[in-house]
Amino acid sequence: MNTFIKNRALILVIFLFYILCFGYYSGTDLGLFPDENQHLGYVIDVTNHGFPDYVRGMSYGTNKLNYLQHPALYYLVAGAVEKFLDLLNISDFKLIRLVNVVISSLTLLTVYFSLKKLISNQFVIFTSLLLIISIPMFVALSSSISNDPLMILGSALIFHALILYYHNSSTSKILYLLLSGGLIVSLTKATGALSVLCILAVFIVFENKKILDRIRSLNKKNYSFIALSLAIIIIYYLSIHMTFGAFFPAPQKDPSDWYLETYPNAHRYSLLDHMSAFYQSNIRTLLIPYGHKSFDDLQLRETMLSFSLVLIPFFSIYITHLGIKKKSNMWQLSFISLFSFLIFITFYFITIHRLNIRTGYPGAMQARYFFAFLPAFSIIYGMAYQNIKNQLVLGLSSVIVITAGLLSIYPAFYPAVSPLISSYYGQSKSDTFYGELTKGRKFEQTFIAKSSCLNSVELNLATFARTNNSNVILEIMNNKNKSVAKEKVNSRQLIDNSWAAFSFGYIPLTKGEEYRLKLTSDGSSGNAITWYSFSGKSDYPMYVGTIYGPADPQKLTKTSGKAFVDGMPVNAEFSFRIYNSGWKNPCKKMASH
């Protein structure tokens, strides 16, 4: 009982974390999470012949060569677990996801002990830890087959080492944590290694003289561990390069090479446009569990999580100011976290922008690439909560974080509860578009009503990575070409490459009858959106029938509907979702009145 009281923050967060993991684990089929089939392919390589096959390795469940370029540590760990499962005659590959549940549990445990070094209040620790698991993609990755959670664990060990440093802990303990974290990220993911390099570079600049004093106090055992760690990294990368001809090999070309070959005249972003797209994409993927099943999100959840994240830079500035004022070295921890994060984001953005200029490929603009900083975000929260005296600020920020944390249960269990709330039908895939929807143009999509009550419609729209201010009008037309519903949104509210909701309340339909979605706009060129469609053509036609390319071309998923562009039929279907009212049907009550 005393143990529970002393560590109740950790126990409660771990309990909630396991509940969320269960939701994502049970509700998401194998292969839906980002690159899960590719990661699993390398795990199976390890079980078959001891190492990822960077020459002929296939993605799981396909006849396509793998395209991941990650170091091997995660695959070796997960492969060892899969070998153990084979000994028990257990052949369910989905169970490998549990490896990351354990790894992320260790991350939360590490961050907990970091916070405990700084904070005595269990409620403050609970709120700070809750921030991490309120980010859906952290839990989704923790419930998938992916190398991201191992990278985050390595980063958590690095931040814990820095906290021990500022608490004047023994040099040996700090060193072993730094070496462990550094080894993990170096042998797991390149972006994780870059994150840690940025963190340690800023730290060394601040503490160079004191670090030299610490180095002078090292003993032979310490130096032997340093030499061993460096030797492991150097030998690994040298052997990889000598064997495969690259430090980060893959069985085939990089996706950017495919993109260049397929779209040699693809749009190249201007610097400002690319920055805008980079910002929007990272914010969006920080708020939602991308790769998870599509779901009708709660706006309140996204708003609360957004507020939680917006507070991080303000808290960091506050802690830095307070530490300088009180002449405490702890402010450096906050400053190092924020400044190294900015350096990392800058380096990463410059890299993908150069890639875009060279190949047209927009780059991987997903928030998980900077998840190595999640432990730092939690620590910044804890330090701020520990020092803020204004009870109103503390109360409001705590309510925001706790609300975001509790509402994160919703996306985790959405596949199970969605039929009770609202179900949808339509065509969710996309691979092309038909230019800007400017004034005078119209995009139309027919559909057969599968229920007698329509609640809302979602369309997969793009803003061309810019802020537009045109109006977008969606009408629902019946088979007599009469409008049964009409809704207008301003494109300023739209998020690029995302689903836009048009809420109609409850509109009675005749089940089995054909209707038509009609989308128009008053926008002009350069101030308009577009509606994504799906043609079923391969993104990379030169790889059709070969072992290259990301996947086999998918056939068009028929919805018994047709698409029209400016009144002319096209061989595609627009991406749309028709939401009905779930288990309730208010339209019946409306019809009876």
Q: What percent of the chain has pLDDT over 90?
A: 48
SS3 579: strand
pLDDT at 592 over 50: no
User: How far, in Å, are 248, 258, 538 from residue 541 at the CA level?
Assistant: 26, 10, 5
Crossing angle, helix 299-326 and helix 391-407, to 10 degrees? Answer: 140
Q: What's the whole-number mean pLDDT along residues 19-29?
A: 90
In angstroms, rounded to a whole number, what is the distance separating the alpha carbons of residues 171 and 224?
A: 14
In angstroms, rounded to a whole number, what is the distance separating the alpha carbons of residues 536 and 538?
A: 7
Q: Model confidence over 44-64: pLDDT tens digits? A: 999 999 999 999 999 898 888
Which pTM value belongs to this model?
A: 0.81
Architecture in CATH of 422-592: Sandwich (2.60)
Q: What's the whole-number mean pLDDT along residues 202-221?
A: 86
Going from N- to C-terminal start, the domains of the chain cover: 2-413, 422-592
* Residue in the block written with tokens 């432990």: 375
Residue type, 227: A
Looking at residue 539, its pLDDT comes to: 55
More confident residue, 499 or 518: 518
Looking at residue 83, its pLDDT comes to: 94
- Which range among 1-10, 236-245, 499-508 shows the weakest confidence by mean pLDDT? 1-10
Q: What's the whole-number mean pLDDT along residues 244-252?
A: 89
pLDDT at 490 over 50: yes
pLDDT at 589 over 70: no
SS3 534: strand
- Which range among 10-19, 158-167, 528-537 shows the weakest confidence by mean pLDDT? 528-537
